[in-house]
Structure 1
């Protein structure tokens, strides 16, 4: 399909009226109930069915590449047969390093359909961080888009082993995957080719940093893909006439699975942008005639702050769906851009429950309808602020938080018909066990620890507060302080000790990275910045630096960060030298009271 053909014949008129809350829940439940009835029906079969019914309707659109449903099914079949030719079946894993484009979905749909697992790798990673993810996936093969070749080269010296590499695009490294795919058959797979893959088989590995340490590889089954697609298709009231704008990374569970699968489940279309651009956002929405868009909270704030450009309110949007939209900008965002309805939700790649704010209450991440409590077994338990461990009563069990009280959100592990949701864990069993909290409200029960601080108000709405532990969220990404510390301490000249933590910036979402350093005369900021560029993605680079004579430690030799976090980067509070990473140049500049005032006033854009 030609990339330029993006307008549809029906692209006029007012958005359709949103159905009642009850009807959207009923639609979602109906779609979910179909999953168990056909244990061998995978999401690729959903696409195949639509390809038979509407082969010429756009499925995936972008400026560079677009697929109709017929073309998407054919492309997925090519990937499936390529995988079979290499013996990729259940138990084999392919790492995917590819920028946002329609072929991304065709790739994992095809490979997972014949039993292979596809590990979705963050294309912003470099060096040891990238190598860690590839090693963790135990990759049998790597699919490498030409644009990712340089990043992969930085990881090769750190890999336990370099798997066979298949290149896509001009100048791609490794074997020629383009040629192999061109030779593969596009027809639907036979039952023998499909094998015995069921909805309980692992389809994807999606990486999450959790609350501490390096990224973990979360198992994602075909059942969860179908479930995510069904819930979101129902609760967004998606239809064949919808077009969803997706500018989030496809290696994330929301941007790469929940968002596109909701539209493909309904037979609608997905517009895939290479990346988010505040300048091009509204032009794209109008040009592609979108009716829905997927957001994260930071995206909404960037759009509010961006200079006026494009048609903005001249669109056919009926819905924005996403997570992280703060209550203080919710109504301003909806009003300024004429968005009829916002569906905020809460979910975690590795989690076992979701929350949906179907009613559109500003600032809330969702509530659990009483009749569906068995499907969303969530609770909030009291937490010890110093240790980060749940508080237990005299009976040894955890204590549920009262309305308005902040604690850690947990989800009961089980099955939907037995008062719980499945926790599929990670590739590392030890990491899986760390996320399980036992003997919570009854002896022998088990709950998933989200690592998220929440509260529940008197009306039953959940509100996100912050992350537990050492991980903080910045630029839509979870940043593990231990990974940043390791990168700084590892052969960075002049650094004697380092402590990384997140600090709040007035008016900004998440927490910005700040590092307290103990340095000697060899330390040089230019070398420091160059060193980090080779080791960490940009969102992990410390925004603030503080020079200290020494770093506090607890009796168990753990870093004591609470005072550092409280003092932040205010020069009127901190006597130590403070520095700010210039967002434009990447250079670190001193912070005085005038610079601090500009930051607090929002004059410095991060």
Structure 2
């Protein structure tokens, strides 16, 4: 038999072809993104507001943003920003001063922070879902000069009143709050014409533009510093990565107070002369109507958004769209292909990045399950490593020489990215947070040599021989049980493929008289859920130490505004039936099946009479 026809030779040929295809995809995608971003790195005096001004002149009456009850052309977007800039200047906002903004998703939001940035101000993008002391903390840490609140959500903001420590001036967008000044009325008194040179502050890409908050899934949110370079780099980088054209329309139902919605997705479209279709909130029932009716060609996702859609009933328009691309992060391997095939998505662009971080990579060739890849030829430009991790101390391990140790292919560790303060390499900078102490906690020093500094992502990943990264878990989510490390994401992937499981949130809970934390899963299930079949599935697909000991059945999963699962309250409530109204089950160590967890059984576990 000729060598060319041998099965192993054919396999090697296919592997070579796949590798070439992958390299070509990365070369094309990376070059598009780098060409766009390089312009921002070269001209330090050209900021995002300057770029939008030029694009508005070019695209004029083309729709910049489209919402259910509002459209804003590029000309109107830029002119409205001019009014915000003049309002800010007239009210004493100087370069570096903060203006806090709490407003639902709508075109006005984008015009507000563009105008404030044009005046030299820094917009703190407040999470519209936060309340009370958490919201107050977000305001207090940035020390705003002015606070803008849309009156549609004024009641939510008022919940923070007893905890606020600010001398800021309050502005209401809309009627209904008599004690505050009316911003919408004040704006209309200012000219929409371009600002004169004498009115404009001197800005560079190193100046701060936004405060964007981390989601706060495990504690108080932190205000990340986003400078003008980072706004440009994210917008232009994703513009290139998605190969944006003026004809594109991107569907954005993610919150504009977060990087993904306002800078990444919207910024990518707006820097290309394309259109942003804005929905106030994600709705699984409305999603395909919007995508089809507005003729969207791209949509921005978060992994849980995809899971919601996949768990939703069939929609008559779900395959009638004009989509060419779905772009986002967090699409888990267990639903990747089902999602792509059911909804006929031509291409998925998964990526990895953090609001405040300097580590970024793309999955340009659609490798299922991977969050991206850094090819060998790009490693010197994007200096990112995976280092061995100590789960007990939640710190990277260090060898006898005191330095960190790189992981071998397939070995799980923490992703870190080198911090380089070099004007020619602004993408490797780390701007930190409003709180200097929070900034210090994210910096790892003396990693591979004395004096070097690296950004800690807080994410556990592994990398294969080809350089593909695979997300494992967030540090703090992984827990130890029976002397083994349990990755909550891997457990969730294993159990969500069981029929009837709509969603799963996995975490560890403390059990008296045991070491480590026992696994627990909060599940959203269908009505006819087969508990005995679920146990058989868990036994077959998970090692003994990784099987959830406790189950909690909920009607819905509590999420952050950016579709990240909340775990803090679930961990605190644990498996106590006296505190929890939801049905609870326990994997009984003697009966080897899940049984209802009542007060009597709970007391047996708590006392140690029933050992796990």
* TM-score bin, normalised by smaller chain: 0.7 to 0.9
Q: Distance in 2 between the 1:584 and 1:405 partners? A: 31
Pair 1:183 & 2:177 matched: no
- Does the aligned pair in 2 maintain the 1:44–1:113 contact within 8 Å? yes
The partner residue of 2:505 within 495, 500, 511 is 511
The partner residue of 2:351 within 322, 345, 348 is 345
Per-residue Cα deviation, 1:191-220 (whole angstroms, up to 9, x for no partner): 221111111100000111578641111100
The worse-fitting range, judged by mean Cα deviation, of 164-173 and 95-104 is 164-173
Residue segments in structure 1 that go unaligned for 5+ positions in a row: 1-18, 473-500, 517-547, 553-559, 600-606
Deviation at 1:98, TM superposition (A): 0.5
> How do residues 205-604 of structure 1 correspond to structure 2 at under 5 angstroms?
205-209=211-215, 213-415=219-421, 417=424, 421-469=428-476, 505=492, 506-507=495-496, 511=505, 562-565=516-519, 580-583=553-556, 588-592=581-585
* 1:114 alignment partner in structure 2: 119
CA distance 1:576–1:453, shift in 2 (3 Å):
closer
Q: Distance in 2 between the 1:577 and 1:418 partners? A: 49
Deviation at 1:471, TM superposition (A): 9.5
Pair 1:102 & 2:96 matched: no
Aligned CA-pair RMSD: 3.1
Q: Distance in 1 between the 2:247 and 2:459 partners? A: 36
Q: Distance in 2 between the 1:590 and 1:424 partners? A: 45
Q: Distance in 2 between the 1:59 and 1:219 partners? A: 26
* 2:198 alignment partner in structure 1: 192
Deviation at 1:590, TM superposition (A): 3.1
Per-residue Cα deviation, 1:11-31 (whole angstroms, up to 9, x for no partner): xxxxxxxx9543332222111
The worse-fitting range, judged by mean Cα deviation, of 85-94 and 165-174 is 165-174
* 1:42 alignment partner in structure 2: 47
- Does the aligned pair in 2 maintain the 1:375–1:419 contact within 8 Å? no
Q: Distance in 1 between the 2:580 and 2:287 partners? A: 29
Deviation at 1:160, TM superposition (A): 1.7
Per-residue Cα deviation, 1:68-102 (whole angstroms, up to 9, x for no partner): 00000011111111000011122311111001111
Pair 1:146 & 2:126 matched: no
TM-score of the two chains, using structure 2 as the length reference? 0.78
Per-residue Cα deviation, 1:399-433 (whole angstroms, up to 9, x for no partner): 00000000000000005746970000011111111
Deviation at 1:584, TM superposition (A): 9.6
- Does the aligned pair in 1 maintain the 2:518–2:548 contact within 8 Å? no
> How do residues 127-166 of structure 1 correspond to structure 2 at under 5 angstroms?
127-161=132-166, 163-166=168-171
TM-score of the two chains, using structure 1 as the length reference? 0.79
Deviation at 1:366, TM superposition (A): 0.7
Per-residue Cα deviation, 1:313-337 (whole angstroms, up to 9, x for no partner): 1111100000001112111111111
SS in 2 for 1:77: helix
- Does the aligned pair in 2 maintain the 1:156–1:162 contact within 8 Å? no
SS in 1 for 2:369: coil
Aligned residue pair count: 512
Q: Distance in 1 between the 2:74 and 2:521 partners? A: 55
Per-residue Cα deviation, 1:152-183 (whole angstroms, up to 9, x for no partner): 11100011235211001232461110111111
- Does the aligned pair in 1 maintain the 2:509–2:518 contact within 8 Å? no
SS in 2 for 1:241: coil
Q: Max radius of gyration: which structure? A: 2
Deviation at 1:371, TM superposition (A): 2.9
- Does the aligned pair in 2 maintain the 1:94–1:118 contact within 8 Å? yes
- Does the aligned pair in 2 maintain the 1:114–1:197 contact within 8 Å? no
- Does the aligned pair in 2 maintain the 1:145–1:172 contact within 8 Å? no
Residue segments in structure 2 that go unaligned for 5+ positions in a row: 1-23, 480-487, 497-501, 524-530, 536-543, 559-578, 588-592, 597-612
Q: Distance in 1 between the 2:145 and 2:295 partners? A: 41
SS in 1 for 2:70: coil
Q: Distance in 2 between the 1:245 and 1:232 partners? A: 15
- Does the aligned pair in 2 maintain the 1:206–1:219 contact within 8 Å? yes
Q: Distance in 2 between the 1:143 and 1:253 partners? A: 19
- Does the aligned pair in 1 maintain the 2:235–2:268 contact within 8 Å? yes
Q: Distance in 2 between the 1:418 and 1:35 partners? A: 11
